[in-house]
Structure 1
Amino acid sequence: MTTWQWLIGLTGVMSIWVIPPAWADAVEHDGNSPISEIPGLRDLEASATTVDEWVSQVQAQESIPTSVQIIDVRVDPVETGIEIVLETTGELEAPSPSTVGNALIAEMTNAVLALPEGSEFQQANPADGIALVSVTQLPNNRVRVAITGTAAPPTANLSVESQALRLSVVPGIAQAADAEDALQVVITGEQQDGYIVDEATTATRTDTPLRDIPQSIQVIPRQVLEDQQVIRLEDALRNVSGISPGDNFGGTRDQFFIRGFQQFNIFRDGFRDERIVFQETANIERIEVLKGPASVLFGSLEPGGIINIIPERPLSEPRYAFDMQLGNFGLVRPQLDFTGPLNRDGTIRYRLNALYERGAGFRDFDQNIQRFFVAPVLSWDISDHTNVLFEFEYLYDERPFDRGLVAIGDEVADIPRERILGEPGDFLENTAYSLGYILEHRFNQDWRIRNAFRFSSSETLDLKADSDSLDEETGILSRTFASNDDIRHLFDAQLAVIGSFATGPMNHDIAVGVDYYRNYSQGTNRSLPAGETPSLDIFDPDYEIIPQPELEDLTVLARDSSSGIDVFGVYLQDLISITDNLKLLLGGRFDFADQESVFNNSLSTRYDEAFNPRVGIVYQPIEPLSLYASFSRSFAPNFGTTSDGETLEPERGTQYEIGARAEFLEGRLLANLALYDLTKVNIADVDPNDPTATFYVAIGEQRSRGIELDVAGEVLPGLNLIASYAYTDAEITKGTFGIPDGNRPANVPEHSGSFWATYEIQQGNLQGLGFGLGLFVAGERQGDNQNTFELPGYVRTDAAIYYRRNNWRASLNVRNLFDVNYYEGIEYGRVTVKPGAPFTILGSISVEF
């Protein structure tokens, strides 16, 4: 069957898929009745088996009442407070209000916000004691009314009329005793809706509005991941300016360049994750990307930026979601997401994410991918003031080890992108897990303490015919059968006190903390003796000339190493509100790093100390516009060793940045423009004379200057977009080991960008039908730091169509719609070019109840 036949067939199946009425009734749950009232499968009406039964079920579905439209919102002052009037086209069901912090929340089901000015209403300071009234459209035909008090949550009386809903709101008064009782600490995963998030934790380790952060930061919310059907982290990060793929070690791990510098750490909820794996996206709530040095809060770190994954947290209401993704190249990916309370008063909540993935990839021989992931989380409100969250993740991943293609002359060799240049049995197996806790106690309204710990571990084993060098005249590629067998353990402990106070007219939001982490790794690299691995003709390959060797056959020990590093840090940060529209961010951190490594019985030690400051200022001439400038520095001990067994000098970075962040369309659209100058010294790069990519050399200095633009939000009701552009002027200003001054670093395009937009029909018989279109662009890139060959630029087009109805969603996504032949990047040198995937189709069906 051809790809297009497969596409047409799957589309046809989706177009006639019908949920039985009994199933729809079964999954409607008001959140108050016990879960035991949900019927089992034996209680559900069977699917249609005849034409008459099918027609009957379709008619039953059509008889479901349409959503009530909210056509106007008024906020009228009254003697006791305010009255909010929602004018409707029919009668709404009376919602059950709840309070979250100082906000009173009322959520209507089977409702659509159809206002002349858009799909959101906001009015600030309508009365004394009330800071904000907002009415927002949510997915699945839900509308939320949020009334935020200045000192305490308001109270409201509701009355439902035939064509209106009235809320008589009285401001709350915070008494001393009431304020103490209201300090409930709850770590829950409040779901983000839409394409815009206006707060982030990565820049300051507190929930800080983006408009108050003097540094470029982008947030990819869950809705974008769902609309694009993101499976790999690299697919999500295409939406952020200035990021390009890095060395993914034979297609087995995540690694990226940010602002021209390779990043070796991915963070999860503020913890560094060095398990050397593909990060799982099934339990991601959002992804925050802070550009530039972040050592002031996170310690040793490369200067390009930080990628911080925020995982999903337990919810206070029961929710059960199933999702099945199917695609070409053999992809099968079922997953589940269960959450809710475990006891009657809701003080103990859980969340469970699990998935299984099987596939073959687009490369030759249908090499198998097997992946299993499970992540239980438990949240316990010990008291109104104290919460502890326990979390665990387990991941097993086995996939082909594939170095990719090779270069001839100044370009990539003209061979099929499906062709592997290793052997059909090459593989990498990774078993990884992590466990930890987050304990938080709130002393009062202004001060809290947070203690957290995480232990993570990974064990990896690979066996492959690694590419060594290519005879470019004959096309004969020399190779070596080799294996890495490694373990890695990471201990990460954090303690922070966060609070706010005033000194005269100025307000201070302060964070002071200490943290400690220990990274220990141990492993070997073994290979067959020289000359025993058969070479390969890249134009006419002949595989399996000899059987793949057993591990005991690899008798040449190239590496027997262990390394450990202990880093202790202490930091202080103060966000000072000098006036309402002028803010100053001051921060500093001391790091103490003790490093020891043993390489083939040769001991090497280092001890380093570093101070890393950050200074930033934000000026807001008008409320929707923030202008900022900042200076920051970074420090990172080098884990790389030279061929002589010596540890490299620490890497250090310095950045100057100015920028502007603006809100448009009454806050529904957010744009960030940044200009930066970033310099890094003592950069670790793979030794070009080492075909095993085991040893490193230090590039003297690299500088990156650029302009970045990121835009995200809702342009019109139902029309969402996220887009980016980056101009990156990266240059090796002081080269060493045969790298001339002035060369461009590998994998970094001068121009790159992205555009993704979706439109969902808001009314009528086709309500819930949506379409998506995306363009992902990368300019020409150097293939190595020696600049001996070049990767061509490309434009990749993606598309999507989906249908959302009540509690289910069906979608069909196409990546590389026009089957463009492109290259993602290189790992190291001329024999590790990573080809991009061809036309790829991905369908999914999800149900939630």
Structure 2
Amino acid sequence: MKNKHPTTPQRTPLARLMMAAGLTLPLAAAAQMGEQGEHGEAAAMPKVEIQAQKQDDTSYTSRATRTATPLTMSLRETPQSVTVITQQRIEDQALATVTDVVNNTTGVSVNQYETHRAGFTARGFDIDNLQIDGDPTTWEQPWSSGETLSSLATYDRVEVVRGATGLMTGAGNPSAAINLVRKRATARDLSGSAEIGIGRWDMRRAQVDVGTGLNDSGSVRGRVVAEYQDGDSWVDYMKNKTRTLYATVEADLGPQTVASAGISRQETDPQGAMWGGLPLWYTDGTLTNWDRSKTSAAAWTSWSSSYDSMFVDLQHRFDNGWQLRTGFTHAEREGDSYLLYLSGVPDRITGLGMAAFSGSYATRTRQDNLNLHLSGPFTLAGRQHEAAFGYMHSEQKFNSDSRAADFGSQDPSVGNFNTWNPAAYPTPAWGAPTFYEGSSTKQDALYGVVRFSLADPLKLILGARVGNYEKTGVGLWTPAYTMKHDREVTPYAGIVYDINDSYSAYASYTDIFQPQNRKDFAGNNLEPIVGKSYEAGVKGEFLDKRLNASFAVFKIRQDKLAQEVAPVDRDGDGPLPPEVYYRASEGAESRGFEFEVAGELARGLNASAGYSQFKAEDAAGADINSIYPRKLLRAFVTYRLPGNWSALTVGGGANWESRTYTLDPLAPAATNGMLEQEANVLVNLMARYEINDRLSAQVNVNNVFDKTTFGMFDAYGAITYRAPRNVTASLKYRF
């Protein structure tokens, strides 16, 4: 938060956090370390009264974020498109996973190409970075199922910044950053909630979220979150079970110092998981039109994963208003899969023509992040400005082993896929794990950002990140490789002009680099691909900052994309060298616009609505990532009725997506080869009734009109159906 008055009494980081949340309450400051009272007890420090504007707990917007830059700024002050999925919206829509959030966020979309794997995209480019409390976590999408299915139980909100985000994330695509913000232990008195729920396909869910002070003064606080969910699925033989446990402690070490630490574990244990999808065509060119319960898995397939993390964090505020934050995070993700992949085009009458491959993989990912961050105000030329500097270190090690399938005398052929019986397919004996693929990735970076106040209404943000990147790897089918790039410079520039008390105009340039494992004719690695993002727009704050709105136009260009060139005879004597060489060329370009409004439109009426549209083409003018929709509408509204009906809140929304398509490599000659889905809209409804001050009941209906939609596995011409209409009901008790 900008410190406009350097002479204002200093506040603890917890107090500033409460102010950012818009709360007004007395805080008993922590006892000084080592300071003892008359009888040996720690002497209590004086209470600090925080006077700040109260923000409604049912907010659909946020007053401040720190995902686009290391400076804490409001959405209006941030010169990029930002969406915040608040805790209230998560509860209203009963969003359970990261995929649920992406499916309901302006400008981003999901291709659920398998039951337990998905791809995320924004503005025409894949999203390959997720963040937790601002720390980048590299996403090995081909191997992952746990990331997209991560429970939201441990997170307070999700912040999504669209465009290039290299300043904060390092390497990646110029698409978006998805930042999962953990819940904190801020409660000094016992508070929290307990919830139970049921749903279609025998879904059962329970969650407890409790926080309290751990000593009399509340200077040490704790919070525990536990969640369990179990149920069947609309897909035959598929079951899902998830378990989440999270514990965190926060302590005021002094009047201006706060330490926090936490641990968490998430487990997903799906049975009957599909690897790949269902064929779209029969050999005669007619569409298969399967029932949505159809599966290509066997009854024995599974894809379990676990994610363990721990973090420590220390924040200190100096007397001059500057703040120091240092943090360390260690995370381990493990996956263990036993899968069956079916591919091919079946005959419409006999159902023959499908081939089977059984695979088992054990994966392990270890990641360490270290951050050091310093920020605060300074005076220059008679005006007050802000600056932030920091150091980031990230190291990730990935390893995968495979197990060979042995069917012995059993027949592993598919037979008639029209009458496929998952329980009848034989279970193989699995061999010992053997090495399949491994890699190690390191990133180190120094960054700095300055927000200059050129005039009262005009702010200029300039920053840069200088980083080193190194990745080494080898695989059973991949030769050993090294990608190393030192002193990669990632600039950031933005300007914001306050037109009046409500509106601001802005423009920004950001970029991001993506290393590529391609060599030129001399045998040297090509330089990384650079994604350059240009954006301009107008933002507004209304109704005492309870409502945010924005309109943006953007353009993204890729430079230095590897392009294959024909081998050249070095000496003219032949023969041609067998290697394939590459040269840097122009890459893809995306252009489009977005509009979004989120917050409280009127008393009791909350809304989030956004529309986005873009066109993305490669250098030759062909569409890229056409399996993702070019046009998106995301909208959800809730209204708490007035007067005698004030215990009832009703809501609803729609997610509309334009046509998606790709060429099917397995399509029969009798077809045009186009795997496509027409534009579609999914409607969702909710209602909540406050039985009393503490107990509430809620019902959510998803896909109200039972529309049939699917995700596409474009590499193999397969589809995976999304969920039919389903209903969930829950009871929540708040202490």
Q: Please confirm whether the aligned pair reaches a TM-score higher than 0.5, indicating the same fold.
A: yes
2:638 paired with 1:758: yes
**2:269 partner SS:** strand
Is the CA contact 1:480–1:527 (under 8 Å) kept in the aligned structure 2?
no
Relative distance call for 1:344 and 1:195 in structure 2 (3 A) is: same
CA pair 305-369 structure 1, distance change in 2 beyond 3 A: same
CA distance in 2, matches of 1:505, 1:302: 40
- 2 CA distance for matches of 1:184 and 1:492? 36
- Provide the secondary structure at the position in 2 that maps to 1:622: coil
Between the aligned partners of 1:703 and 1:552, the Cα distance in structure 2 is: 46
Name the structure 2 match of 1:482: 359
Question: Cα offset for 1:528?
Answer: 4.1
Q: Is the 8 A contact 2:651 2:685 kept in 1?
A: yes
The secondary structure found in structure 2 opposite 1:399 is coil
Q: Quick one: which of 534, 558, 575 aligns to 1:656?
A: 534
Secondary structure (helix, strand or coil) at the match of 1:212 reads: coil
Contact 2:537–2:550 (Cα < 8 Å) also in 1: yes
Partner residue of 1:464? Answer: 339
- Aligned with 1:406 (options 261, 279, 282): 279
Distance in 2 (CA, whole Å) between partners of 1:634 and 1:714 is 35
2:125 maps to which of 234, 257, 261: 261
2:711 corresponds to 1:846: no
Describe the superposition over 1:359-382 as per-residue Cα deviations: whole angstroms up to 9, x where unpaired. Answer: 1111112x2212111000011111
Distance (whole Å) between structure 2 residues aligned to residue 385 and residue 333 of structure 1: 40
Q: Is the 8 Å Cα contact of residues 723 and 753 (structure 1) preserved in structure 2? A: yes
Q: Distance in 1 between matches of 2:550 and 2:664?
A: 31
Residue 535 (1) aligns with residue 408 (2): no
**Distance change in 2, residues 1:346/1:553 (3 Å):** closer
CA separation in 1, counterparts of 2:166 and 2:18? Answer: 38
Would the alpha carbon gap of residues 491 and 412 (structure 1) be closer, same or farther in structure 2, given more than 3 Å must change?
Answer: farther
Q: 1:445 to 1:418 in 2, by over 3 A?
A: farther
Q: Note the alpha carbon deviations across 1:580-604, whole angstroms, 9 max, x for none.
A: 2101010111111122112238422
- Whether the 8 Å CA contact 2:411–2:426 is kept in 1: the answer is no
1:447 has 2:322 as partner: yes
Q: Does the 8 Å CA contact 2:696/2:733 hold for their aligned counterparts? A: yes
Q: 1:99 to 1:273 in 2, by over 3 A?
A: closer
Alignment check: 8 A CA contact 1:799 1:814 kept: yes
Q: Say which of 660, 665, 672 aligns to 1:781.
A: 660
- SS class of match (2:211): strand
TM score, norm. by length of structure 2:
0.82
Determine the C-alpha separation between the residues in 2 that align with 1:785 and 1:831. Answer: 5
Matching of residues 217-616 of structure 1 within 5 Å = 217-246=82-111, 250-253=114-117, 255-274=119-138, 276=144, 277=146, 278-314=149-185, 315-365=187-237, 367-400=238-271, 401-402=273-274, 403-408=276-281, 413-471=288-346, 476-528=353-405, 533-535=412-414, 537-552=416-431, 560-600=436-476, 602-609=479-486, 610-616=488-494
Q: Could you say what secondary structure the match of 2:628 adopts?
A: coil
- Name the aligned partner's letter for residue 240 of structure 1: T
For residues 601 and 112 of structure 2, the distance between their equivalents in structure 1, rounded to whole angstroms, comes to 36
| Alpha-carbon spacing, 1:415–1:791, altered in 2? closer, same or farther (3 Å) | same
Cα-to-partner distance string for 1:115-140 (whole Å, 9 max, x where unaligned): xxxxxxxxxxxxxxxxx9x9x9xxxx
Structure 1 unaligned segments of length 5 or more: list them.
1-97, 106-131, 137-143, 148-179, 686-696, 735-740
Bigger fraction of residues in helix? 1
Whether the 8 Å CA contact 1:663–1:671 is kept in 2: the answer is yes
Measured after TM superposition, the shift of residue 639 of structure 1 is 8.2
Tell me what 2:67 maps to: 202
Deviation at 1:579, TM superposition (A): 1.4
- Structure-2 separation of matches of 1:354 and 1:268: 18
The code of the aligned residue for 1:318 comes to L
Residue type of the alignment partner of 1:603:
A
Amino acid at match of 1:280: S
Structure 2 CA distance for partners of 1:536 and 1:714, relative to 1, 3 Å = farther
Contact kept? 1:582, 1:617, Cα under 8 Å: yes
Shift of 1:274: 4.5
**Structure 1 residues 666 and 498: CA distance shift in structure 2, 3 A:** closer
Letter in 1 for 2:165: A
Q: Is the 8 A contact 1:614 1:633 kept in 2?
A: yes
Matching of residue 749 in structure 1 with residue 629 in structure 2:
yes
The answer (yes or no) to whether the contact 1:604–1:647 under 8 Å persists in 2 is no
Please name the residue that 1:634 is paired with. Answer: 512
Q: Match for residue 76 of structure 1?
A: none
AA matched with 2:541 = E
TM-aligned CA deviation for residue 640 of structure 1: 11
Distance in 1, Cα, partners of 2:359 & 2:13 = 60
Higher RCO (C-alpha 8 Å, min separation 6): 2
- Structure 2 SS opposite 1:297: helix
Task: Choose 598-607 or 417-426, whichever is displaced more.
Answer: 598-607
Matches within 5 A, 1:161-180: none
Compute the displacement of 1:485 (Å): 1.2
Name the CA distance, whole Å, in 2 between partners of 1:236 and 1:668.
Answer: 21
The 1:832/1:354 distance shift into structure 2, 3 A limit, reads farther
**CA shift in 2, pair 1:420/1:381, >3 Å:** same
Q: Decide whether the 8 Å contact of 1:655 with 1:677 is kept in 2.
A: yes
**Letter of the aligned partner of 1:222 in structure 2?**
Q
CA distance in 1 between partners of 2:99 and 2:496 (Å): 31
Question: Is contact 1:513-1:570 (8 Å) kept?
Answer: yes
Q: Deviations over 1:387-434 (max 9, x none)?
A: 111011111111142133233289974111210012122110112200
Task: State yes or no: 1:711 paired with 2:597.
Answer: yes
Determine what percentage of the aligned residue pairs are the same residue: 23
Compared CA separation, residues 398 and 470, structure 1 to 2 (3 A): same
Does the 8 Å CA contact 2:660/2:678 hold for their aligned counterparts?
A: yes
Higher CA-based Rg: 1
The CA deviation string for residues 451-499 of structure 1, in whole angstroms up to 9 with x for no partner, is 1110100111111111333357775322201112111100111111111
One-letter code of the match for 1:404? G
**1:812 pairs with 2:699:** yes
Taking the aligned partners of 1:103 and 1:379, their CA distance within structure 2 comes to 13
Give the distance between the partners of 2:585 and 2:93, measured in 1 at CA.
38
Contact 1:244 1:256 in 2 (8 A): yes
Verify the 8 A CA contact 2:247 2:264 in the aligned structure 1: yes
Return the letter of the residue paired with 1:579: A
Matched, 1:822 2:709: yes
Letter of the 1:629 counterpart: A
The one-letter amino acid of 1:782's match is: Y
Which one-letter code corresponds to 2:292 in the other structure? R
- In structure 2, list runs of 5 or more residues that go unmatched: 1-11, 27-44, 564-581, 666-672
Cα displacement string for residues 273-322 of structure 1 (whole angstroms, at most 9, x for unaligned residues):
34741221112211111111111122223210100011211122320310
CA distance in 1, matches of 2:602, 2:558: 42
User: What TM-score results when the alignment is normalised by the length of structure 1?
Assistant: 0.72
Maintained 8 Å contact 2:249/2:261: yes
1:790 aligns with 2:668: no
Partner of 2:607: 721
1:627-684 Cα distance to aligned partner (Å, 9 max, x none): 111111101335899xxxx999744211111111112344332111111111235779
Q: Secondary structure at the match of 2:345?
A: strand
Distance 1:99 1:460 in 2: 38
The 2-side partners of 1:350 and 1:784 are apart by 53
From the superposition, tell whether residues 196 and 542 of structure 1 become closer, same or farther in structure 2 (CA, over 3 Å). Answer: closer
Quickly say closer, same or farther: Cα 1:196–1:385, change in 2 above 3 A: same
**C-alpha distance after superposition, 1:337-384 (max 9, x if no partner):** 01011001111101100011101111112x221211100001111111
